[in-house]
Each structure stands twice: as C-alpha cells, then as structure tokens.
Amino acid sequence: MRVLTIVILILAGAAAIPAQDGRPADPKSPESNPQAQKTKVDHATPDSKTSESEQTPSQASAQTPSPTPEVKAPYAINWSTEFGWRFKALDGNENEYRSQLDYDRGMRLFSGSFLARPGCGTGPLFDNLLVNSVGWGGDPTQYTHAQIDKVGWYRFIATYRRFAYFNNLANLALGQHTADNTYEIGDFNLTLFPQNPRFKAYLGYSLERIKGNSRVTYDYSRNEFPILSPFNTRADDYVLGADAKLWIFDITFEQGFRFFKNDTTFDIAGPVAGNSPGPTMLATFHRDLPTRGRIPFTEVSLHPELNKKLDITARFVYASATTDFTLFETVTGTDNSGNKVNLDRTVVNGNAKRPNALGNLGISYLATKKLTISDSFRFNSFRINGGNQLLETLLTSRNNMPLPPVLTDTLSFQLLSYRVFWNAIEADYAFSPRLSAHVGYAHGDRRVVLADFTVPPGGDLASPPVTNNTDSVFGGFRARPYDIWTLYFDFDHGTADNVFTRVSSYNYTNFRARSLIKPKKSLAINASLITNDNTNPTLAQVGTVFIPFGVDFTTRIFSASADWTPCPRLSLSAGYTYSRVDSNAAIVFFLNSVQTTGTSKYFLRDNFAYATASFQIHPRATLFAGFRVNRDNAPDTGPPSPRVLVSVYPYQRVTPEGRLSINVRKQLDWNAGWQYFDYHDMLFSTLSYRANLAYVSLTFKFDRK
Amino acid sequence: MLVCTGLLTGALWLRAACPSKADESEVQNSAAPPTANSKSSDYVGSDLCEACHQDQATNFSRTIHAKLAGLPGWKNKPDKPVGCESCHGPGKDHVENGGDKTKIRTFKNLTPEQISDVCLNCHAREEERNNFRRGDHGRNNVACTSCHATHSQLEIPPLTAPAPSSQRYLSSVPLDRSKVTPQYLLIVTEPKLCENCHNETKAQFSQPYHHRVPEGGMKCSDCHNPHGGFQLKQARLATGVDAVCLKCHIEKQGPFVFEHAPVKEEGCVICHLPHGSNNPRLLRRSNVAQLCLECHSSVGTLPIGAPGTPNFHNLATVKFQNCTTCHVFIHGSNASKVFFR
C-alpha cells in the first residue's frame, strides 16, 4: 500500500509533465501566464498591483489573481490541499533526532486550506468560513484552525493542536527521564454579536490532554531507580463573559473554570537495581497519585475614555485554585542496610489552595497633541497553603527474622505568600511625525513569606518576610530620519535592594536598538542589537570576613536580515544572528564532604545564518532552495578544575533543503522536496545524527468565484 | 565608537526632529478628531468617496469594516460614522476643495500614536486592546498600521493560509509582505509578521529545542498579547492570573503543598528560555547542577532564601551532579518537601 502510494504520487507528476508539454497552457489563462496575471491585477487596484508585483514565485504559481469577482455562485470557494508521502533516512542517534525533529515516514496531509464566502458578501449562515490545517497524518506538529463568522451575529474560532513530544536525552538525568507523549490542545471560542458596540457575549471551551509513556526516577533508600510513568493528565476550561457599554464605561466581565485531573501512575515492570552500587533493590513498586484540581476565576475590566483626554483601564482578577490528592505507594525489595523490605506502604492525603488577586490600573492623560503622560499600576497577591498527612508502614526483616515495624505519621503544612506592587510613570512626546520619544520611571515592591510546619517534630519554621524593592528608569525613541528608514531604540536601567534568587539582578542595564530599512516595497533590511548587563555584587560573610559572592551575566545579540524580491519570479532572503551569553556565578558546594567555594560559568556563542531563494524557473515550475546553519562555538574555558563548573554546548546543525513545484494542471501542483539535517554534537559525539527527509506531494486547488 | 554612535544618533535625531512642511500640515490636519467637533452635515458618505477612490473603495467593501454600515448600533448614528469617514474624518471640505489632501485626515504622515488613536476610538473597547497605549508596542510607538492594513484586503489567495508544512519547518519561504491575510487584516501571517521587527527570535526558534512556532503549531500571539496587556513582555495569562505557560503545561500549575518558590515568584523564565535553547528542555544551562547551584549556594549569612546543599551532596559523584534524578518533581510536589515524589 505504501509503495503503491509513492508510485502513484511520483507517476502523477511524471505523467502530468508530458501532458503539460503536449498541450501548452492557454496563454489567456491567468494561471499559466504570469504576465496575464499581472495585467489583470493591474486593472484591480493600486494596492493589488503592488502586492502582486511583490508576491513570491511560489505563491505566484499557486495563487490565482483575484480581480473584482463577478458573482455567479452562491459561495466563492477557495480550497487547496497538499498531501503526499514523507521519506526518512536516518543515520546516527535516533533518540536525539526524535527529541529534536521526530519526523517519520508515511502519508501526510501537509497542508489544507478552505475558504468559503457568499458571493454577495453575506450569507444566511455565515459570511466567512476558513479552515487551515498542517501536519495531519503523523507529523509531530498537527494543527487545525477554523473560523466561521457572520458579521453582526457571531464569530466562532476553533483551534485544535496535537503535538507529539518525544524526549530521550542522555545528557539529562542520566538519560532516565524520557517522554513519548502526545499533547492535545483545543480552544473553541464563540462570540455573539461581535461588532455590537453595546453588548457582546463570549463562550469558550478549551481542552488540554497529555498522554503517553514516560519514565522518571525515584529515590528510595538513598538509591535511584528508573520508574515507568504512563502520563495521563487532562484539563477542561470553560469561560463565559460579556462586553458591555454602560454610560462612559466599557465593561468586560469574564467567569472561567478550569477542572484538572491527573491520573498518572508509577510502576516498575520487574525487579530493578539502583543506579548507585549497594544492596538497595526494588522488587515491586507501584504508586497511584490521583490528583484533582479546580480553578474558578473571575475578571472584571473597566475602560472609560473621558473627553478624548483621559484613557483609563482598570482590571481586577480573582482566582482560587484548589488541589486535592491521595498518594498510595507500595514498595517491596531491599533497603540500603540490606534488610528485606516486605512492605513499605505510604499513604499521603492532603490539599492545597491558592487564592490569587491581581489588579491593574492604567491611566493615560493626553495632555497635548504631542504629549501623553501615562501611569501603570499592578498589584498581585497570592497565598499558597498546603497540607498533607503522611502515614507510612515499613515492614522489614533480616535473615527471615522480622524487624520491628516502623510507623510514621506526620502532618506537614507549608505557606508561600507573595505580594507585589509595581508602578511605572512615563511621558511620551511626539516631536514630529518622524520622531517620538518616551521616558519613565518604575518602582516595584515585592514581599515573600515562607513558612514550613511539620508535626512531629513540631516547631514553626516560618521565615521573616523578605522584601525586594526595585527602581528603574527607562526610555527610548522612534525615529524615521528618512522615509525608508525607521529606527527604534529603548533602554532600561534598574537597581534592587535585595534579590529572591541569586540569578536575579541587583543592577541591570538593557539596551535595544532596531533598524528597519525599506528602500522599496520589494526590499526590506532589518537589523537589531540587544544588550543586557546584569550584576549581583553580593558579599558573603564568612566569620568576620566578607568575600565576593555574586552573579554576573551579560547577553549580546546582533541580528540582521534582508528580504528581496527583485522581480516576481525571484525572491531572496538571508539573515544572520549572533547570540553571546557570559555568566559567572559564585557557588558553594560539597566535594567529599568539604564545603568548597567555586564558580559556575556558562557560555553561549550561537551563530545562526540562513539564506533562501525562490525562483520561478518556468511559468509552471518553481524552485525553492534554502540553507541554514546553527553553530555554537564554545570558547576556551581553560583547564578543568573541580572548583569551576563550566557549562557550554558546542554543536553545529546544518540544514540545506530544496523543493520543486510544478503546476501540472490548473488545479494540480506536483511537488518534490528534500531536507537534510546534519547535527553534530561536539560535547557528546554519540548524540550526533544525520537525517534525510524527502517528500513527494500533490497540491489540489479549487477556486470558484 | 561611543562618540561616533552618539554623533550619528544625534544627527539622526535632528533629521527626524525637523518635520517637513508636509509633515506639519498633516499633523495639524490630523490633530482634531473628526467626530469630536464635527457636525453630521460635514460628512459626505462613502459613495461620494468612491467616485474618486474607486480602488480603495472596492477593497474596503470586502472588509468587515464596510459591513458595519448595515448593522444595528452603527447605521444612522451621526456620532458613529461608518465607511471611509469613520477613520479619515468628515470629507465635506476635502470634496469642496477639489480633493485637497490637507482638508482630510490622511495617515501617511501621522505619528504612530495618532494613527493608533484613530483605531482605538473603536477598538479600545475590548479588554484585549484597552491597554494598548501603555503596552510595549504603544510605548515604543508601533502603530496599528504596522501590522494591519485596513483597506487593502484583496480576494484571499490560497497561500495566505499557512505555507505547506513540507516547507514550513524552515519557514524561509518569504511570505508576501503586502497581501492582507484572511484574519484580522494582518499584512502578513505570524510569525513572519513579528519577525519583521523581532528578527532575533527567528534564531531562537531555530535552535535545536524550541516551541513549535516555525512548524506552524503555535503563533506568537498564543503567548503574547500584541495589543498590550499589563504583563512583562506583553505576555498573556492562563486562568486569569497564572503564567501563560500553564495554559498547556497543566501538570505544573498546582497549587502544590510544597511549591518550588521561584516558579511562582520569578516565573518559569528563571530556569527556561521559552523561545528556544541549545540546551535540552529549554533550560538556561546545559549542566543542570549549575542551574540549581547558582541559587542553592549559601555561605555564612546571606539575605537569600534558597537553602544551600547538604554536606552529603558530594558533587564529585555522578549521582549528585544530576540533581533532578532525585528531585524529580522540581516544579512542585504534594507529597515530598524535597520534590522526590
């Protein structure tokens, strides 16, 4: 069947080429004559003329130019589907390949699009019906988007995605954390009276499903064991809401619910030895951890605009998340003392709650035609209260003699309380239509409380509140010194009096500049430069001495790209991005029970370059060629030292590709393509792979006006 | 180099700060919102506009904007003109002066803020857009027309839909920059639209581990609200208040009895790079132990919450170089304070 399909696809193209040669395309046909297309479009609109002159050859071969339609059918339908066969040849590490790409051979619906619109512009049921799909049939990314609407009455938007997620990487958790899961994510939203200025209503439903085979590890009796963990998690979201105009207020109300369910189980297939040497062994293991959650959330938003001078937005959201769970775990085997574990049974019951309030207020005062003063305020506060009761029964024996049972009964509670106030005030001034600038000041105040309480042994381990105040100034401008050139620049400089995590910054300075040059509509040259400098000059007190114990990291990103369509038959695109990260953090750890002060370093030197060309080599044939390379050049990190941990990931991935599309008939394209991925892992050479991915496909098109 | 950069910037600033006469006339002309001080008799109706601007009128007639004229709540409302004059302002003077461009609002030389103000007159009513002025795009003077084309919608060609997935992986097929897409009058589909300015993201999404944006499974606007919002980086929120990541990564949402506090205090980006990374699981470090130790290090008395590692964590052994082998449920756990199960 598979071979037959491939043969049909190839023969369809091969057979069609002589047919095309034997019967020249009708020169009057716009599909076969680009000049005709252009001429026809010239009659349409100046806009359409411009756009047509810019369209790429690949599009030119597939897009039917669209003059003002003469309505002959009740519905104008525009439909295309590309389906075909994908080939794969792989050499090297399959797990790494699947973790990065995971394309497999087989029949595919590469893409599909369908658009139906009533010829007269409006129909009894809908005004637009649009469906787009990619990847169905086995690609790791499968996506369908649909929109159907009738102006004034309703708009329904649906998105359904199915992702295959494979992760089996030897360089993470000793290669023992793996996943071969499927994510299903669907969003379905209906808006009633979407264009009504007084009232509109929303209904929404979303689903999230994660299923598949996973593997994790479990630490039992000071040894680690790989555990099978078939993933089974789902969530269902429901939302209803409305927008209303009352007096001067635009009011939005939304009420939502998420229901969460996790029925993932944990098992071993048979006796398992641990990673570390020693007597510990699992003979049997099973864990159920059914978890149920619900999150009702309510959102209210107000937006008055007063006399075109004062624009105010206020929003308040309250959510109260709850989780209930029961853990039931049984273990038999051998513990690290060599005792036989006849039964280790653990039952944990508990729940956790997270009430969360979020408030926002934004005010813009349009002081003059050129000056706007704005203030943004944010408030967020949540508390996470959780508690559980753990009951453990441990029955062991040694030399067939039962040891006294060990019974554990503990109650644990934990509290995480978080509150933030953040405010930014800024002024925006338009010097001219070509130059505008803004400058502002922001202040943030955060507070965290952590508390931990266990019975027995008892005792309140609550820490005092920790606060963090951040002050920053920011600003920037947009300049258009010439009609063809627009320049964006902004900066942000801040300081903090404390940090919650050491990788956060006491001081940071960020710059960002973007240049967009568009000499003509067929040529665009973009460039950007982004810099981040973060320092955390902490001193640590060891006895009476203070030692430097900070974290510094810098980021530099330079990116440039150009898109050029010199003529309708040729389109070129190229770009280069260089990303550089240097991170240097003082750390402390234990080497053979000796506390050691050292350094953690991380370096990224990522180069990314690409070039593509699309060329209409014949009125019926379009050739696409592309080349892309990612390369991380690890810098010289010096001689290895037990006190210095260095993290780099040198690698190179080269990806050339090509595609030939031949317009066989008015409604049929034959396509053949090839992609090659050469991944060379310079850190772990066994992870390298080379993959050839090819495909043959047919594109069917239907266009009825 | 700094001096040169400063001088160049200054020169460009001056060049940009000095408006041409045309610019000035446009600004003056655009200053007054037409609906604020205009009488209904100042409006001439779209039919009259079509007499001269036939092409624009034809294209406009196919957009959703044109259909408002027939809807209750819009038709016969002097304060809510529909058609050309809803954006361009009353056309009476323009018509009576033989098509004088200075007598009507044109968008070519408006400031980005002024352009956006015109759109926000109607579109700020929804929560999605009502904080546009204070969002990153609004603050940096990106106008609505940078992404949307209001009356250039042509008949929709098939390939304004996503390019074939066989091509999409690299997604380097240059998409038409001027043809309007079927949805939201965008000038080009995502992610190309966003990459036009944020071109560094193309490199991030080309790294070995990335979210499925180039493959067509996700869009930038799934996670970011291009129209503002209140969050950093214009990020969206899941279930009203939580990080947008939790929309799909549901098993990490909690609440957990034992939370890994930074996940909630600092967000997922404290450990992960959401666009893409050279490191597995989108991590910020290729060596997980370093990622952990950069927080879990304490010497003496430090004003930092993360506890240091215990003394039996011998980093000379493979076991303790792989933190997540034991601390499996690192995002949070209901049963283990140290995230074992």
Confidence band of A42 (pLDDT split at 50, 70, 90):
very low
Q: Given an 8 Å threshold on Cβ–Cβ distance, is B270 in contact with A243?
A: no
CA pseudo-torsion sign A614, A615, A616, A618:
negative
Angle CA A121–A191–B163, to nearest 5: 65
Nearest residue in chain A measured CA to CA from B55: A45
**Residue B23: in which H helix or E strand, if any?**
helix B21-31
Angle CA B49–B53–B58, to nearest 5: 95
Confidence band of A53 (pLDDT split at 50, 70, 90):
very low
User: Do residues A371 and B133 touch, judged by C-beta distance below 8 A?
Assistant: no
Lowest-confidence range among A44-53, A262-271, A331-340, A361-370? Answer: A44-53
Distance CA A170, CA A100 (A): 13
Q: What is the pLDDT of residue A679?
A: 96
Residue A64 pLDDT more than 50? no
Q: What is the pLDDT of residue B171?
A: 34
B139 interaction partners in chain A (CB closer than 8 Å):
374, 426, 428, 438, 476
B259 interaction partners in chain A (CB closer than 8 Å):
384, 386, 414, 416
For residue A101, give both structure tokens.
Answer: 């790409």
Tell me what percent of the residues of chain A surpass a pLDDT of 70: 88
List, as ranges, residues 5-64 from B with C-beta within 8 Å of A: 9, 12-13, 15-19, 23-24, 26-27, 31, 33, 36, 55-56, 58-59, 61-62, 64
User: Do residues A652 and A664 touch, judged by C-beta distance below 8 A?
Assistant: no
Distance CA A593, CA B313 (A): 8
pLDDT tens per residue, range A131-164: 988 888 888 999 999 999 998 999 999 999 999 9
Q: What is the pLDDT of residue A556?
A: 97
| Residue type for position B27 | V
Residue A585: Cβ-neighbour burial (10 angstroms; 0-12, 13-18, 19+):
buried
Q: What is the pLDDT of residue A188?
A: 97
Distance CA A20, CA A618 (A): 12
- Alpha-carbon distances, residue A690 vs A139, A433, A624, A679, B119 (angstroms): 18, 52, 22, 6, 50
Residue A186 pLDDT more than 50? yes
Confidence band of A636 (pLDDT split at 50, 70, 90):
confident
Does B12 or A466 have the greater pLDDT score?
Answer: A466
Neighbouring CB atoms inside 10 A of A307's CB total 8
Q: Mutation test of the interface with chain A: which of B109, B114, B134, choosing the one with the most A Cβ atoms within 10 A? A: B134
Q: In which region does residue B45 sit, left (phi positive, over 0), alpha (psi from -120 to 50) or beta (all else)?
A: left
Of A303, A514, A540, the CB nearest to B300: A540
Neighbouring CB atoms inside 10 A of A56's CB total 29
pLDDT mean over B144-159: 64
Q: Given an 8 Å threshold on Cβ–Cβ distance, is B165 in contact with A593?
A: no
| Residue type for position B70 | G
**Residue A165: in which H helix or E strand, if any?**
strand A154-168
Q: Compute and round to an integer the Cα radius of gyration of chain B.
A: 27
Distance CA B209, CA B228 (A): 28
Residue B116 pLDDT more than 70? yes
Residue B8: Cβ-neighbour burial (10 angstroms; 0-12, 13-18, 19+):
exposed
Question: Beta-strand (E) ranges in A549-633?
Answer: 551-567, 570-591, 594-618, 621-632
pLDDT tens per residue, range B200-234: 999 999 999 999 998 888 999 999 999 998 988 99
How are beta strands A644-647 and A594-618 bridged, if at all?
Answer: parallel
Lowest-confidence range among A1-10, A12-21, A616-625? Answer: A12-21
Distance CA A204, CA B321 (A): 45
Confidence band of B156 (pLDDT split at 50, 70, 90):
very low
Give this prediction's pTM. Answer: 0.88
Distance CA A378, CA A687 (A): 46
Distance CA A673, CA B169 (A): 12
Distance CA A75, CA B146 (A): 32
Distance CA A241, CA A263 (A): 31
Of A364, A504, A565, the CB nearest to B134: A364
Q: What is the pLDDT of residue B26?
A: 46
Confidence band of A267 (pLDDT split at 50, 70, 90):
very high
A673 interaction partners in chain B (CB closer than 8 Å):
166-167
Mean per-residue pLDDT of chain A: 86
Q: What is the pLDDT of residue B181?
A: 57
Confidence band of A349 (pLDDT split at 50, 70, 90):
very high
Distance CA B193, CA B183 (A): 13
Q: Is B129 on the interface with A (CB under 8 A)?
A: no
* Bridge partners (DSSP) listed for residue A159: A145, A187
- Alpha-carbon distances, residue A519 vs A54, A486, B13 (angstroms): 14, 11, 20
pLDDT mean over A398-421: 93
pLDDT mean over A671-678: 93
**Percent of chain B that is helix, strand, coil (3-state, to 5):** 45, 5, 50
Residue B113: Cβ-neighbour burial (10 angstroms; 0-12, 13-18, 19+):
buried
- Which of the given ranges, A21-30, A35-44, A55-64, A373-382, has the highest pLDDT on average? A373-382
Q: How close B93 gets to chain A, by Cα (Å)?
A: 22
- Alpha-carbon distances, residue B219 vs A161, A370, A624 (angstroms): 12, 34, 24
Q: How close B92 gets to chain A, by Cα (Å)?
A: 23
Q: What is the pLDDT of residue A135?
A: 87
Confidence band of A70 (pLDDT split at 50, 70, 90):
very low
Buried b (16+ CB within 10 A) or exposed e, A660-695: bbbbbbeeebbbbbebbbbbbbbeeeebbbbbebbb
Q: What is the pLDDT of residue B19?
A: 54
Q: Compute and round to an integer the Cα radius of gyration of chain A.
A: 31
For residue A45, give both structure tokens.
Answer: 């609109």
For residue A18, give both structure tokens.
Answer: 């002589």
Does A657 or B6 have the greater pLDDT score?
Answer: A657
Is A445 in a helix, a strand, or coil?
strand
Long-range contacts of A363-368 (CB under 8 A, 24+ apart): A363/A310, A363/A311, A363/A312, A363/A313, A364/A310, A364/A311, A364/A312, A364/B133, A364/B134, A365/A309, A365/A310, A365/A311, A366/A308, A366/A309, A366/A310, A366/A311, A367/A309
Peptide bond into A619 cis (omega under 30): no
Confidence band of B182 (pLDDT split at 50, 70, 90):
low
Crossing angle of the two packed helices A46-54 and B54-61, in degrees rounded to 10? 70
pLDDT tens per residue, range B24-73: 444 444 434 444 456 667 888 888 998 998 888 887 887 888 888 778 77
How are beta strands A310-334 and A340-365 bridged, if at all?
Answer: antiparallel
Terminal Cα-to-Cα distance of chain B (whole angstroms): 55
Is A46 in a helix, a strand, or coil?
helix
Q: Give, as one character, the DSSP assignment of residue B291.
A: H
Confidence band of A458 (pLDDT split at 50, 70, 90):
low
Q: How close A340 gets to chain B, by Cα (Å)?
A: 22
pLDDT mean over A441-450: 93
Question: DSSP labels for B89-145?
Answer: ---HHHHHTTS-GGGS--STTS-HHHHHHHHHHHHTTSTTTTTGGGSHHHHTT--GG
Q: Is B321 on the interface with A (CB under 8 A)?
A: no
CA pseudo-torsion sign A164, A169, A172, A174:
positive
Q: Is B311 on the interface with A (CB under 8 A)?
A: yes
Tell me what percent of the residues of chain A surpass a pLDDT of 90: 63
Q: Given an 8 Å threshold on Cβ–Cβ distance, is A108 in contact with B165?
A: yes
Q: Given an 8 Å threshold on Cβ–Cβ distance, is B328 in contact with A216?
A: yes
Angle CA A68–A69–A70, to nearest 5: 125
